[in-house]
Amino acid sequence: AVFSIFHRFTGIGLSLGAILLSVWIILIALGPDYYSTYQSVSSLTLFKVFLFFWTLAIFYHLFNGIRYLFWSYGKLMDLHIVYKSAYVVIILSILSTVLVWLSV
């Protein structure tokens, strides 16, 4: 149940991040003055922390969504496999996020 709730929360978080991504694209289109304002805001530590957690939410939502797809077909439904797949989702989400941030 906890993973299902977090799946919904990450979906909401991804929507909020998509709005910020849209604002970023609009500011690029408006010109260099507006974009420089965005650059100053995006250099803040709080913004980078938000971006890190948004990246983590992307990967968690992706991997947990794949897990739900298997469940839709009746696969991996044994209780011990459900717990193991939950750990796999967490580990893959963290590893993917760290790899993305190390490559930047």
Give CA–CA dist 6/93, Å, rounded: 13
With tokens 């974009």, the residue in question is 35
Average pLDDT, rounded, for the chain? 93
Between these two residues, 65 and 27, which has the higher pLDDT value? 65
- What is the average per-residue pLDDT within 78-87? 94
* pTM metric for this prediction: 0.87
Give the pLDDT confidence of 41-77 residue by residue, as tens digits.
Answer: 889 999 999 999 999 999 999 999 999 999 999 999 9
Does 1 score more than 80 pLDDT?
no
